[in-house]
Amino acid sequence: MLVAAAVCPCPPLLVPAVAAGATSELDEARTACSDALGVLAASRPDRLVVVGPGGEGEPVWFPAGSGGSFAGYGVDLTVRLGDGPGGERPLPAPLAVAGWLLEHTDWADAPIEGLAVGESLEAARCAGTGRELAASAERVALLVMGDGSACRTVKAPGYLDERAEPFDAAVGRALGAADPEALLALDAERARELRAAGRAPWQVLAGAAEGADLAGRLLYEDAPYGVGYFVAAWS
């Protein structure tokens, strides 16, 4: 069953080597991520799964030890999802960011696996995947990577959309309250229009959390660069 979850944003700029001169702009977010990961470690899970956006079709698994690189951002830096044989498929950027966060956390010995879910995956399928994860071990923890809308300002990647702020506000309330039903109510088409990459991963979390009776804390909420970022801890 699900015993804890951490929700973090997934911009590569969270990695200081990628952010370079802009590192300090996300210091508060990094600190909040570290606090959320501390909640995961304290839960002492038997299994940790990192869930993040990636691909368009069915969910894609990345075994323990899978590696990713930030070479595409001009940085000679590689990360791995804990110890294990890994696989041939490289981690998508959101899971690589998670790998970097985990490498900078005093983590337990639980195996770490990755799961990429596509933007088009419908809510029911996301929730079903989450339920399967929760039932896969006695103590399951999730690190859920995903961003909110990318349309909060005129300089945002998706330009300004007046629907973005209320969408993100609903996400923040749901994450802070550990409310699976509210996360499952997020509209996939609206999320796509607002370029909210976290919708599918959050709905996987919602499925995993059904019946778990977890309490939530919203540790960070802001929209630097016009993109909604959230950090939350459920335990």
93 pLDDT higher than 80: yes
Average predicted confidence (pLDDT) for the chain: 94
- Condensed to tens digits (0 to 9), the pLDDT of residues 136-174 reads 999 999 999 999 999 999 999 999 999 999 999 999 999
- Condensed to tens digits (0 to 9), the pLDDT of residues 54-92 reads 977 789 999 999 999 999 999 999 999 988 888 889 999
pLDDT at residue number 105 = 83
3-state secondary structure of 216: strand
Q: Which residues contact 103 (CB under 8 A, 6 or more apart)?
A: 79, 80
Say which CATH number the domain at 36 has. Answer: 3.40.830.10
Q: Is the pTM of this model over 0.85?
A: yes
176 touches 218 (CB < 8 A)? yes
- Average pLDDT of 103-120? 86
C-alpha separations of 105 from 33, 108, 218 in Å: 10, 9, 19
Q: List strands edge to edge, sheet with 112-117.
A: 60-62, 112-117, 47-53, 140-145, 2-8, 229-234, 216-222
When pLDDT is cut at 50, 70 and 90, the band that residue 38 belongs to is very high
Domain range for 190: 2-234
- The tally of domains found in the chain comes to 1
How big is the chain, counted in residues?
235
